Amino acid sequence: NKADEIIKEYDVKLDYKIGTMIEIPRACIIADQIAKEAEFFSFGTNDLTQMTFGFSRDDVGKFTPEYIEKGILEKDPFQVIDKEGVGTLVKMGVEKGRKARKNLKIGICGEHGGDPSSVEFCHNVKMTYVSCSPYRVPIARLAAAHAKLKEKKE
């Protein structure tokens, strides 16, 4: 592969992994095929949410409050993972990916990675990591610890 050629050409030692962002519903559906080549998945849940709902992040703030008020949405899906829709796709992607590659590293990136409810969801579907904005890291770490403790109690 090209990376190995460059490493050899420059005579450097470099460990690297090949991975992919999972940001569209189809990628979740064919995650087993993708995992045959990828060593890690990073779910881009903002884009996946946008593609799943057909919402534009640019104008979602104009109608989401009314959708929540009328019970169409429980919460803003860009703040908290929509477990029924986006969550189902993520869970499918995790399961299919791990079926094809047992040691697949899987996580999410974006604002969901700093939301306690979303971090708990990630723990429950057996993700390896979450990534979020630096200011949300303490919240994410605390939420991950809480999810682990909650699991031990059950």
pLDDT digits (tens, 9 = 90+) for 84-132: 999 999 999 999 999 999 999 999 998 899 999 999 999 999 999 999 9
Is residue 4 in a domain? no
* Structural domain of 94: 20-153
Residues 33-68: b if buried by 16+ CB within 10 A, e if exposed: ebbeebebbbbbbbebbbbbeebeeeebeeebeebe
* Domain tally, the chain: 1
pLDDT tens, 53-79? 999 888 999 999 999 999 999 999 999
On whether residue 7 sits in a domain, the answer given is no
DSSP assignment of 19-48, as one string? EEEE-SHHHHHTHHHHHTT-SEEEEEHHHH
* Whole-prediction pTM: 0.91
Distance (Å, rounded) from C-alpha 55 to C-alpha 13? Answer: 44
* CATH number for the domain harbouring residue 139: 3.20.20.60
